[in-house]
Amino acid sequence: MVVRREVSAWRPSVPGVVEVFHAHFTEYAYPMHVHDAWTLLLVDAGAVRYDLDRHEHGTPDGTVSLLPPHVPHNGSPITEDGFRKRVLYLDLSRLDETYIGPAVDTPDFLDPVLRRRVGQLHTALAHPGDELEAESRLTLIGERLRGHLRPALVKDGRDADHPLAHRLRELLDERLLQGVTLQEAAGLVHAHPAHLVRAFSGAYGIPPHQYLMSRRVEQARRLLLAGRAPGEVAAETGFYDQSHLNRHFKRLVGVAPGRYRDSSR
């Protein structure tokens, strides 16, 4: 068997995320250690066993694991080919220290919705320019984690708040080119970030980041049909760069911007 120790790590410009860490290990075993941040773990292939506060745990298929800060833990592969994992290290602004005890008692969650959202967050964090999406997904992830750890303290936020959603839509329209962070938007419209995302999605059937990107793509289409180059269009419609435009344009229109422009009569 080929011994693998492959890692990729970076710190995104998203408040609350200390580090993103992806790894593929075949034989490596972590000794006992601690972090000063929360460890939100997905194991994508293989499985891991670990000790947390002198109790043994594991990561079967579909599990999301949350290891609390300041509590020693280790980790080692229990499958022949090792394991592949994706980790988010989150600071205490997302989960404060009062959740450490419940996380020690129950660090593993079999929650398909949570796992899907964490995977979507990893995708958003890999692409500069998608910070609003990443913030929105992280906010809902934090809310769901709190619901697992201390369910009695989480309120049901499903009721649509149409006036609040309308104020956020006006703000997104005003900031179409420069964009806005979720924390900034929440401060400007005086709402909790999680409630803001839920209110907008409930009122319009689309989350705020998708609304913003679809508006930008609509503007890009007009400029492309006028014969403008995709690189220029990306810069003038609020995208991080041309590849950022390409990815969202293809997702919403079905073809790349250059091909769309060339189809114009």
Indicate if 65 and 189 belong to the same structural domain.
no
265 — pLDDT class (breaks 50, 70, 90): low
pLDDT in tens, 67-76: 999 998 898 8
Average pLDDT over residues 181-187: 93
State how beta strands 48-52 and 30-33 pair: unpaired
Say if residue 199 is in the same domain as residue 233.
Answer: no
Are residues 107 and 127 located together in one domain of the fold?
yes
The owner of tokens 């694991």 is: 65
Q: pLDDT category, 90, cuts 50, 70, 90?
A: very high
Residues contacting residue 105 through CB under 8 Å, at least 6 positions apart: none
- Residue with the bigger pLDDT between 77 and 172: it is 172
Domain boundary among 170, 186, 205: 205
Q: Are 131 and 36 in the same domain?
A: yes
Q: What is the mean pLDDT of the chain?
A: 89
Contact 94, 38 (CB under 8 A): yes
Confidence of residue 91 (pLDDT cuts 50, 70, 90): very high
Residue 241: domain span = 211-262
Q: What is the per-residue pLDDT for 58?
A: 83
| 15: pLDDT strictly greater than 60 | yes
Q: What is the pLDDT of residues 19-41, one digit of tens each?
A: 999 989 888 888 888 899 999 99
φ/ψ of residue 21, rounded to 5: -140, 120
Q: What is the pLDDT of residue 147?
A: 93
Neighbours of 106 (CB within 10 A): 11
Cβ atoms of 181 and 133 closer than 8 Å:
no
On the question of pLDDT at 55 being above 90, the answer is no
Co-location of 256 and 181 in the same domain = no
Task: Kindly state whether residues 136 and 220 are assigned to the same domain.
Answer: no
Q: Are 76 and 61 members of one domain?
A: yes
pLDDT in tens, 211-236: 999 999 999 999 998 889 999 999 99
Domain count, the chain: 3
CA-CA distance, 57 to 59, in Å (whole number)? 7
Buried b (16+ CB within 10 A) or exposed e, 13-26: ebebbbbbbbbbbb
| Per-residue confidence (pLDDT) for residue 159, from 0 to 100 | 52
Q: What is the reported pLDDT for 154?
A: 52
Which CATH number goes with the domain that contains 9? 2.60.120.280
Nearest to 110 by CA among 195, 42, 39: 42
Residue 153 confidence (pLDDT) above 80: no
Do both 217 and 197 map to the same domain? no
Q: How far apart are the first and last CA of the chain?
A: 57
d(CA 51, CA 63): 16
Residues 76 and 109 in one domain: yes
Predicted confidence band of residue 152 (pLDDT cuts 50, 70, 90): low
CA distance 25 to 76: 9
**In which residue are the tokens 């022949």 written?**
80
Query: What span, in angstroms and rounded, lies between the C-alpha atoms of 27 and 79?
Result: 10
